[in-house]
Structure 1
């Protein structure tokens, strides 16, 4: 991956090959990506002032941009979630740290995507404040999100009732004591306690909560969330994704790298048991140390989240690692996880190194990844050995299969 005495970057791949790419109409700041039927939806970071892109993916090797909505003034719409023919798109203040010179769009836009390539906006849920950061919506009645509504100093966890998607209503909220404007924080001033997003399994919500680590809530009654555990670790911070693997009684946890290198603190992926309380099992192997000498972000970020109607496995993890690209791990032996594939693309125009941001693995086994700066959207296909492993480690009841199997 690293070449030459100056620590320069070079692309490499193992077990994965590029099968498609789209520059998103020259607005390549791709953030979250998700496929729904013939459509792929991409949220944009917001630096290009694009908001959401809709692509025709009926031929993944020849993607076609169908529609691209602009970002609202002083806001961005960088997250997309789709299920039950309903697309949810966040609206949040942007740039984060620049004072707004006017009102921001803060909430969730709701679209009917029964025609996947023709989204139709049907509602908007207004939360006030800075807005909604990330949403988890896998179908059914409730969506879960992190948001900074009026009266709070940072992101809390909110449940949205979509029984009537034309008239969404808040069903519940939970925050760490000290986050509300009229409360006194009980954590050091240099730390940030802020919800990122929650993934649900076995009546529990597993929430990445920034410098607080992993927060686990009892949500057997979703309208009355109750704290069960908070788990942190000495060299952690900026906890992002807490992916429950209930069949294995494990949780895969990423700490997000939010600082540019060189010299940024390491951000890793860990495996915990689903005990009461959870116990650390192992730390997944990081890519070559030389990535830490490169500019921009290097470290863990996001995981493929085993959503319904996507590829699902509790043994194979797909993880984005910013300048270290996409990493694929086999955790069949949770005490000895191993990297089995990776993909580091050529450097996109106008940036120093890639910044691979998000990953979604569809039910056909295609792997969709984005670059957060200028690289746009990539489509990867597993090579035969990785295909074999993916099939072997997927539930036997899932429908469909990777192309060519």
Structure 2
């Protein structure tokens, strides 16, 4: 495999690229035992890539989703692979901003179900050949994203009947062959089945859990335009609110991942850029102090990439995801990796959390072709997810350009 073409490689050495068996529409990735599991944004399913040699990655399997169903997000740990099932919402909202504005559950209420909704559990003790062992159903649109790092408990954003949009739920995996839903929590106003009414402008803002990252007994949950909550989950059957912060408005919303750095009492929170050409405003990765969990305070933002006029490059410019410091990966509370969509992958030094510094950039070249079927999409890089191994080998995905590997040299 030839070395992939890149526009910028500052502190990174490109290693290889995979088109994932001819399906290069890559969303979330999970690295486990030398294999990468990739959820597809448009192809309907997930792929398994043998990445034991990052310079020569080989696709060893594709697992198709049921009709009209997304498998865009997944989690791997303890020989288990959890794969989300939800309605393919790009088919419903081909105009992208219609997906990001307003309550999805409200707009789809009463729709005849033609899709699979829930979480599929796979045995990956043979990592190249996932074998489904159970399925946890949802009576609604489905599941968006998960958090699972092993053990009994997993965590999901779930859009069930009776809710305006995705909310927080806990999954009990005491017996992975018989999973069950445990506790749940939502922002007041989201449970329409109980007669609650939103207090926000539902035509403009979308209050929906993207996902929560768990550290100990705290869930750091990101609610798109609904901001950030810290939840006490000591009782997995009954989560409780610790604190809620929302900076949208005046900022543009889209709160996406919240990555805790517990040893330093810090939290990184990225707001996703969700519109072309900064139509939803410039988004940031915020640095919070959580020394007092009841009062999270933003103290800085990561520097915005500026080598090119990314705002006019086309597509989305701004944060999407962060390397999430998963157990077994590269774990640091000073070196941060973030994806910036048409600006690629960036690394930052936050040794001084009040003055973060950029220390690396990996900007892939444009995709060979567009997998995105939506009309009028530009042929530019849209780097989506990033995972870094303990040895500094990085994997990142793109909606159209597949899976890229690189060595971090910083």
TM-score where L is the length of structure 2: 0.88
Residue 150 of structure 1 is matched in structure 2 by 161
Q: Could you report, residue by residue, the CA deviation over 1:317-360 in whole angstroms, capped at 9, with x for unpaired residues?
A: 10000000001000000000001001111101235210000001
Matched, 1:186 2:180: no
Alignment match, 1:16: 12
Matches within 5 A, 1:189-204: 189=202, 190-204=204-218
Q: 1:354/1:244 Cα in 2 relative to 1: closer, same or farther (>3 Å)?
A: same
Partner of 2:102 in structure 1? Answer: none
Instruction: Give the whole-Å Cα distance in 2 for the aligned partners of 1:165 and 1:151.
Output: 27
Residue deviations 1:61-92 (CA, integer Å, cap 9, x gap): 11111001123211110111011110000011
Secondary structure in 2 matching 1:379: strand
The separation in 2 between residues aligned to 1:349 and 1:213, in whole angstroms, is 36
Q: What is the CA distance between 1:59 and its match in structure 2?
A: 1.5
**What is the deviation of 1:364?**
2.8
* Structure 1 SS opposite 2:269: strand
Answer whether contact 1:193 1:211 (CA < 8 A) is retained. Answer: yes
The normalised TM-score by structure 1 is: 0.89
1:335 is matched with 354
> Structure 1 residues 277, 209: CA separation in 2 closer, same or farther (over 3 Å shift)?
same
**Separation (CA, whole Å) in 1 of partners of 2:317 and 2:119:** 30
Gaps of 5+ in 2: 1-5, 94-107, 370-377
Q: Which runs of 5+ in 1 are unaligned?
A: 1-9, 387-405
Query: Does the 8 A contact of 2:252 with 2:281 survive in 1?
Result: no
The answer to whether the aligner puts 1:326 opposite 2:345 as a matched pair is yes
The match for 1:44 is 40
> 1:152: how far off?
1.3
Residue 305 of structure 2, aligned match among 258, 283, 287 = 287
Other-structure match for 1:250: 266
Q: CA deviation at 1:155?
A: 0.3
- CA shift digits 1:138-177 (9 cap, x unpaired): 0111000101012212000010000000000011111112
Q: In structure 1, what is the equivalent of residue 147 of structure 2?
A: 136
Q: CA deviation at 1:118?
A: 1.5
Measured after TM superposition, the shift of residue 202 of structure 1 is 4.2
Structure 1: distance between partners of 2:74 and 2:385:
11
What is the SS of the residue equivalent to 1:163? coil
SS at match of 1:131: strand
CA distance in 2, matches of 1:334, 1:38: 33
Shift of 1:50: 3.7
Which position in structure 2 is the counterpart of 1:60? Answer: 54
- Within the candidate set 279, 282, 289, 1:266 is matched to 282
Q: Which runs of 4+ in 1 moved over 2 A?
A: 95-102
Give how far 1:102 is off.
5.2
Q: Structure 2: how far apart are the matches of 1:145 and 1:94?
A: 17
Deviation at residue 232 of structure 1 after TM alignment: 1.9
Contact in 1 for aligned 2:252/2:280 (Cα 8 Å): no
Give the count of matched residue pairs.
372
Tell me how large the CA RMSD over aligned residues is: 1.5
Question: Are 2:225 and 1:211 aligned?
Answer: yes
1:360 partnered with 2:387: yes
Indicate the residue corresponding to 1:74 in structure 2. 68
Query: Contact conserved, 1:262 with 1:294, CA < 8 A, in 2?
Result: no
| Inter-CA distance 94–324: structure 2 relative to 1 (3 Å threshold) | same
Taking the aligned partners of 1:20 and 1:194, their CA distance within structure 2 comes to 36
Any conservation in 2 of the 1:74–1:102 contact (CA below 8 Å)? no
Contact 1:202 1:246 in 2 (8 A): no
